[in-house]
Copies of this chain bind each other. A is one copy, B any other.
C-alpha cells in the first residue's frame, strides 16, 4: 500500500496541507468542525507523520538522546530505565541509541543532534577523551554519566558529568578487606593501562595497598581482558593455580565477582569461610546470589535521575553545567568474612 502523506489527508478532507499540519501540531486557528473531520480521517487512514520531514524543517524537538556503549551491560540497564523514567516524568521523550565498541560517540552524537534536532544528549559508557575542538561541533548540552573524569582537556563549564569516584570506591573496597584482617589480597581486573574503569579501579587497589603498607604482588593480580563471566571464571582459575596464598579477592565488577565465587567454590574453597570476595557495582542480582555479594553499591538510581535532571535543568535554562561526584555505599553481603 502506498504510504499516506499529509497531502492525501488534506485532499480527502478537502482542506489544505497547512490546516492538516495545524491540527497535527495542536495549533489553534482551526475550527472545531474542521479539526474533528481531519482527526477522523487521520484515525481512519492510520496516517503517521514522517519524522524525517518534520525534523528537516523544525528547529527543535522534545527529545533527549541516550547514547550508550553496550546496552547489554547489566549495570547500564538499570541506568537506562531510570533515565527514561525521569525524562518522561519531566515531559520529554527519549531516544535510545546504542553504539559499538569501535564507534565514535561524539560523531554519532553530532549526527543525531542535527538530524533529530535533539535538546540534549546523555552519554553512558565510554571514555570521552576529546578535545575542545572536537566537542565544539556539538552545540547542545550534554552530560557524561559514569565517567569519573575525562582524559581530554575539556572546559568543565562546557559540559556536565555525573559519576562515582572509581578509584576511591575501589580503594574503599580494599580497605574493607584490610579492616577484616586480610593481608594477601588478590585482584581480578579486566584491563590494564587503557584508561578504562577497570584501570581506575585497579589504581584504587594499588593505592590502598600502598596506604596499608602491603606490597603489590604481581602473581596475585589477574587481568581477564574482558568484563564477562566466562573470562572472569577462567581468570580466577588461573589465579588460583598460580598463587593460592591469598585470603581475599578484590574484583572490579559484580558480574566478575559472581564468576570468581564460582571458580573458588569449584576449586574447593568456601566463600567466605576460606576466601573473601568483594566487588563493585551493587547490582540487584548480587543480593540474590549465594552468598550475597559484599559490594560497593553505585547509586544507580541517583545517577540516572540526577543526570537526566541535570541535563533537563540546563536545557530549560535553570541550571549550570556541573560535575557531580556521588558517594558509594558499602553493601554488606555474605562474601566477606573477618580473618580469625
Q: Which residues of A contact B (CB under 8 A)?
A: 1, 3, 46, 48, 50-53, 55-56, 71-72, 74, 77-78, 80-81, 84, 96-98, 100, 107, 110-111, 114-116, 136-137, 139, 228-230, 233, 258-259, 261-262, 265, 284-285, 287-290
Contacts and interface: CB of A to CB of B under 8 A. Distances in A.
A285 B255 CA distance: 9
A249 B5 CA distance: 55
Contacts of A115: 50-53
Nearest to A76: B72
A258 B51 contact: no
Contacts of A137: 1, 46
Given A262-B288, A290-B261, A48 B114 contact: yes
**Nearest 6 A-B pairs (CB), nearest first?**
A72-B77, A52-B52, A262-B288, A52-B115, A52-B55, A96-B98
A137 to B, nearest CB: 6
A139 B1 contact: yes
Contacts of A96: 71, 96-98
Contacts of A100: 84
A33 to B, nearest CB: 27
Contacts of A48: 107, 110-111, 114
Nearest to A3: B114
Nearest to A133: B46
Contacts of A51: 52, 111, 115
Contact of A262 (B46, B56, B262, B290): B290
A139 B288 CA distance: 45
29 contacts: A1-B136, A1-B137, A1-B139, A48-B111, A48-B114, A50-B114, A51-B52, A51-B111, A52-B52, A52-B53, A52-B55, A52-B56, A53-B56, A71-B71, A71-B80, A71-B96, A72-B77, A72-B78, A72-B81, A77-B77, A229-B285, A258-B288, A259-B288, A261-B290, A262-B288, A262-B289, A262-B290, A289-B289, A290-B290
Contacts of A139: 1
A74 B46 CA distance: 34
Contacts of A287: 229
A316 to B, nearest CB: 23
A114 B288 CA distance: 44
Contacts of A290: 261-262, 265, 289-290
Contacts of A53: 52, 56, 115
Contacts of A55: 52
Nearest to A263: B288
Contact of A285 (B3, B46, B77, B258): B258
A159 to B, nearest CB: 15
Contacts of A98: 96
B107 A258 contact: no
A290 B259 CA distance: 10
A77 B80 CA distance: 14
A48 B110 CA distance: 8
B107 A284 contact: no
Contacts of A229: 284-285, 287-288
